[in-house]
Amino acid sequence: MKKAKELWKKLNNNFAEILTVKKITIIVLLITIILLIPLLGVSFYIHPSADDFDYGVYTIGAINKGIGNVFVGVGKTIHKFYNNWQGTYSAITLFSLNPSIWGDNFYFLTTFILVFCILFSIYYLFKQLKKILKLDNTSFHLIYLLFIILILETIPDKTQGLYWWNGACYYMVFFSFELTLIAILLKRYFLSMPTKLNYIISCLLIIAIGGGNFITALQQIIILILLNIYLIIFKKDKSAILMSALSIISFLISALAPGNSKRAALVVGMPATKAILYSFKYSILKSKEWMTPLNIVIIGIIIFLLLKTYKERKDDFNHPLIVTILIYCILSAEFTPTLYATSDLGAGRLWNIMYISYLLLAIGLLYYLIGNIRKQILSEKILTKNYSQGIKIILKRNSILLTILIVGFLSYTIYKHIYDYTSVSTYIILKRGEAQIYDKEYKERIKILKNKNIKEVEFKPFTHYPYPIIFAELEEDETNWKNRSMAQVYNKKYVKIVKKES
């Protein structure tokens, strides 16, 4: 028995030395690359639909007449929608510049642009946090890769998050802008790296975010107000006041647009007070829904990798209740604009950024609360200051068992929900040829639309509607807004779907 224990101890020690954080990071990097192959590969079979045409009436094809015509088209689009539908000026600009304006074969850039925005903004944010927390490079990269895999694979609405320009850029791009802004603010005010350039970039991002979706715009105002309160009280620094002013002004320019009142008349909204109260309710309900077993494990691993950073932060974590309330309020504020405007939680594209924001806030709150508990343990001398060394020894002696448990649980959880992950669902439609068939049939439609001799266009329905790469089909009713916008883009009398008679 004694020899068996010694052998087991030796095996665990050897395994712990072999399976280092660096090697795990390399493995996770390879997994990330593999997962990105179908996720990005399927983008070569996606095509514009619905709002892409509605906002592209003045810009699709304009490049053929010169780059100047594209800018003129953008201006016309902003004027039209600002006065008749919505005031989100910077969002309208991006809507009108969907990749298909450069040609039918450029729409695949949608997914590449969106994934790049997510990868860059989160990397840049985590990089500043790494410096603040004094985290080592290997752990930083592993945390980044784990988080990227998690959000790309599990976002609530994959179609409206990665494969449809209009819906995805409205939320994912502007949320990426916000994360980048937060990273710059951390760099400027918490890493003491103020420059004129990062101040100018911050102001430009604030103006852009203010003209984007209302969720991100409102959250931006809250974050900047909290930042100003902190800077003025503790650092006597008033340099961020202009930023707060810009965020409020840009939000008002968007919110007070004539188009918003016209759009509001078509839906039943909710009183402001009620919307705020319901926001607190739904943030709890969604938090319960989004804290899945997989999320718990990944967040647990991330927190474990961050444990080593606590020794550098001896005087922090003093206000757990205040921090908890602030984070709860920031998350809840994301639900308010849609509830106020439409009395519901909105489409899946909204949930995507709420979900990512929730994961970030959950990690931040958990890190803070553990830090507070750790501080109390040390101050009360419940455990010695060398307890972390004891934990390391325990982990090392049970490294094989812990690895088996973690890998086993992850494998079971992933297998149980295997078809819910982005890379799996995209791989399936590629393997079955559904994406390729959809692409072929769509291109056949484009040939008809480009035929100047055909003015009345009637299409058969697609034989496949592969999830998650197709957002919306045309309607049988030629007066439907989706049909009319496509007909206008291609200068047709009408466009409609004609189903086979049974």
Report the alpha-carbon distance of residue 191 to residue 194 in Å, rounded.
9
Looking at the structure, do residues 368 and 474 belong to the same domain, yes or no? no
Omega within 30 of 0 (cis) for the link into 466: no
> Per-residue pLDDT for 175 more than 50?
yes
3-state secondary structure 305-363: HHHHHHHHCCCCCCCHHHHHHHHHHHHHHCCHHHHHHHCCCCCHHHHHHHHHHHHHHHH
Based on the fold, state whether residues 372 and 305 are members of the same structural domain: yes
Between 65 and 35, the more confident residue is 35
| pLDDT of amino acid 11 | 63
For range 454-459, the mean pLDDT: 93
Question: Does some domain include residue 45?
Answer: no
Interval 25-41 mean pLDDT: 96
Sign of CA dihedral 284, 290, 294, 297: negative
pLDDT band at 226 (very low <50, low <70, confident <90, very high): very high
Residue 317 inside a domain? The answer is: yes
Region of poorest pLDDT, from 131-140, 180-189, 414-423: 414-423
Residue 34 amino acid letter: I
Closest CA to 388 of 331, 316, 312: 312
**Is the same domain home to 408 and 456?**
no
- Asked which of 423, 458, 478 is the last residue of a domain, the reply is 423
More confident position, 4 or 75: 75
Instruction: Return the pLDDT at 412.
Output: 64
Q: Are residues 384 and 454 in the same domain?
A: no
Q: How much is the pLDDT for 13?
A: 62
Tokens of 77: 């689009």
pLDDT (0 to 100) of residue 299: 93
Contact 46, 107 (CB under 8 A): yes
Beta carbons within 8 Å of 359's beta carbon, 6+ residues apart: 147, 150, 151, 290, 295, 299
Asked whether residue 434 is domain-assigned, the answer is no
Q: Establish if 25 belongs to a structural domain.
A: no
The answer to whether position 77 is within a domain reads no
pLDDT at 461: 93
Average pLDDT value for the chain: 88
Q: What average pLDDT score do residues 306-319 get? A: 81
Judge if 265 and 133 occupy the same domain: yes
The pLDDT of 126-130, averaged and rounded, is: 96
Q: Which domain holds residue 173?
A: 108-423
In a domain, 395, yes or no: yes
* Cα separation, 319 vs 481, whole angstroms: 52
Which tokens go with 153? 């694979």
Using the predicted structure, report yes or no on whether residue 501 has a pLDDT greater than 60: no
Q: What is the pLDDT of residue 3?
A: 66
Q: How confident is the model at residue 141 (pLDDT cuts 50, 70, 90)?
A: very high
Q: Kindly report, residue by residue over 380-417, the tens digit of the pLDDT.
A: 555 555 555 555 665 556 666 667 777 776 676 776 67
Kindly state whether residues 357 and 457 are assigned to the same domain: no
Residue pair 12/397 in contact (Cβ under 8 Å)? The answer is yes
Residue 80 pLDDT > 60, yes or no?
yes
Residue 31, in any domain of the structure = no
Q: Are residues 129 and 232 in the same domain?
A: yes
176 and 113 housed in the same domain: yes
Residue 494 has pLDDT above 50, yes or no: yes
pLDDT over threshold 90, residue 467:
yes
Q: What value does the mean pLDDT take over residues 150-167?
A: 94
Q: Is the pLDDT of residue 502 over 50?
A: no
Q: For residue 498, what pLDDT is reported?
A: 92
Structure pTM? 0.90
Q: With 80 as the cut, is the pLDDT of residue 129 above it? A: yes
pLDDT at 397: 60
Helix residue ranges per DSSP H, 334-456 = 336-342, 348-379, 387-397, 399-416, 422-431, 434-449
Please give the structure tokens belonging to residue 308: 């080593």
| Whether 190 and 278 share a structural domain | yes
- The 10 Å CB-count burial string (b at 16+, else e) for 359-368 is bbbbbebebb
Same domain (yes/no): 333, 464: no
pLDDT tens digits along 197-220: 999 999 999 999 999 999 999 999
The pLDDT assigned to 302 comes to: 95
> Do residues 111 and 165 touch, judged by C-beta distance below 8 A?
no
- Let me know whether 319 and 193 are in one domain: yes
Q: Decide: 422 and 33 in contact? Cβ < 8 Å.
A: no
Q: What mean pLDDT comes out for the span 366-391? A: 70
CA distance 187 to 194: 7
Lowest mean pLDDT across 38-52, 166-180, 251-265: 251-265
Q: How many domains does the chain have?
A: 2
pLDDT tens digits, one per residue of 314-357: 667 888 889 999 999 989 988 888 888 888 887 778 899 999 99
Same domain, 344 and 462: no
Percent of the chain with pLDDT over 70: 89
Rounded Cα–Cα distance for residues 339 and 334 (Å): 10
Instruction: Confirm whether 407 is domain-assigned.
Output: yes
